Structure 1
């Protein structure tokens, strides 16, 4: 190969693998939505996003479709997209659904878990505990979700675990907010081993205790988030409060 051709090869722009552009956009936007850098209700213009990522609109559209599947982006009547709103008025209904799903998943996991499931749950619990650091709220919420999804997988019921996963996805922004409140409020402390009781109940195959622990875990999240709201940690962006 001539030196000219070698130089051309070195300086030529590297082509992205098929689908990697959409993956890149999805990863960045998902992080920005979950950390509230992109606030609820913000409109997402395909042309502007394509310009921002220096890609065509096709991978942008593909990424937005994936984010829509995660419940993080919604389509509007005029065929535009926006970051899904946080409907605080529906929080009690969300908690009701989460409580039912979490109790069922944890009961089934205690009854049906395998040794491999236990290893996966323990590994996810340790990863969560390592993630508990100030200013690391996204890592915390991601690790928390991975832990609960590991329990969902151990339930051996794809219908229930998929519903549970979607609830966890939908609540991740609220979880991010309440982690920020807990970690920065000097009067609040996060129990680094708050999952340990639930994990042990699943290991012991104590279905009744696992369900009870799951219910208490949901109530803990509910109380923390309500406390967050009552202390006036409100957002500087619009929140849907219509029933």
Structure 2
């Protein structure tokens, strides 16, 4: 969903915008973990304002898919269903291929200029994210880049479906960046290479190559994210069992 412009005409609207921006950033960077309860009273105290602008901010976040308003009117940070991550990644791959292919076929000169502008902005955002170890600049610039391509494809249905996937995947992209940031050789060039190849194919109007680059980009994200998942799922597994077995074998041999 396209982000609404931040209103600033009244104190109430400014307060709601501040709550929205702060909570949104904390959710995207996982400082507010999936499933965390969001209490209106507690948030009103935290931001030193009434519950009305807090409620307005939560409604906007719900529209972004970042919070879920439950039947009992309580609100939580939208959970992440890691069991369905493979399904999400397959869908992302398909929609990314379709929207990128259509952009190569239907983009105008004005569309291409916007795509190139968003690619340059993405490279600057990557540099900022690497320097600050903050995923937010990269998350926002990545969204803008891919949605600019989707709109250039001239199919509103595909673009809307793709937008929903990109919105849902923002927190996954944060985790992906956190994993990549562990690499001491991380660089802007390496992180932006797939985007550069996509732009080049769209510029040349090569639909097959554009789709191929989009697929490779999705596959690399899938591979890195699954590596992150494997790293974190196994990180807490105790390794004392093997040492105990080794001692038992040594005792048996001595006897």
Equivalent pair of 1:110/1:206 in contact (CA under 8 Å) = yes
1:29 aligned residue (19, 23, 35): 23
- The structural deviation recorded for 1:75 is 1.7
Equivalent pairs, count: 222
Query: How far apart in 2 are the matches of 1:48 and 1:16?
Result: 23
2:172 aligned residue (160, 171, 174): 174
Q: Deviations over 1:179-199 (max 9, x none)?
A: 111022337664333211111
SS at 1:232 equivalent: helix
**Which one has a larger percent helix, Structure 1 or Structure 2?**
2
2:138 aligned residue (140, 155, 160): 140
SS at 2:32 equivalent: coil
Q: Does the C-alpha gap of structure 1 residues 25 and 165 become closer, same or farther in structure 2, counting only changes over 3 Å?
A: same
Which residue matches 2:182?
A: 184
Provide the TM-score with structure 2 as the length reference. 0.81
Query: How far apart in 2 are the matches of 1:235 and 1:69?
Result: 35
- The structural deviation recorded for 1:131 is 1.7
Residue 99 in 1 paired to residue 93 in 2?
A: yes
SS at 2:139 equivalent: helix
Q: Deviations over 1:82-131 (max 9, x none)?
A: 00111111001101211121111111111111111111111111111112
CA RMSD of aligned residues (A): 2.0
1:44 aligned residue (35, 38, 51): 38
- The structural deviation recorded for 1:16 is 3.9
- The structural deviation recorded for 1:39 is 0.7
Which residue matches 1:207?
A: 207
SS at 2:76 equivalent: strand
Q: Does the C-alpha gap of structure 1 residues 114 and 87 become closer, same or farther in structure 2, counting only changes over 3 Å?
A: same
Show structure 2 runs of 5+ residues with no match.
Answer: 1-8, 237-255
- The structural deviation recorded for 1:38 is 0.7
Which residue matches 1:53?
A: 47
Deviation larger for 133-142 or 23-32: 133-142
Query: How far apart in 2 are the matches of 1:234 and 1:26?
Result: 35
Which residue matches 2:195?
A: 195
Q: Deviations over 1:110-167 (max 9, x none)?
A: 1111111111111111111112224031111111111111111211222211211111
Mapping for residues 4-19 of structure 1, pairs under 5 Å: 16-17=10-11, 19=13
Deviation larger for 90-99 or 125-134: 125-134
Which residue matches 1:7?
A: none
SS at 2:184 equivalent: coil
Which residue matches 2:158?
A: 160
Equivalent pair of 1:107/1:211 in contact (CA under 8 Å) = yes
Equivalent pair of 1:149/1:161 in contact (CA under 8 Å) = yes
Query: How far apart in 2 are the matches of 1:86 and 1:99?
Result: 19
Provide the TM-score with structure 1 as the length reference. 0.85
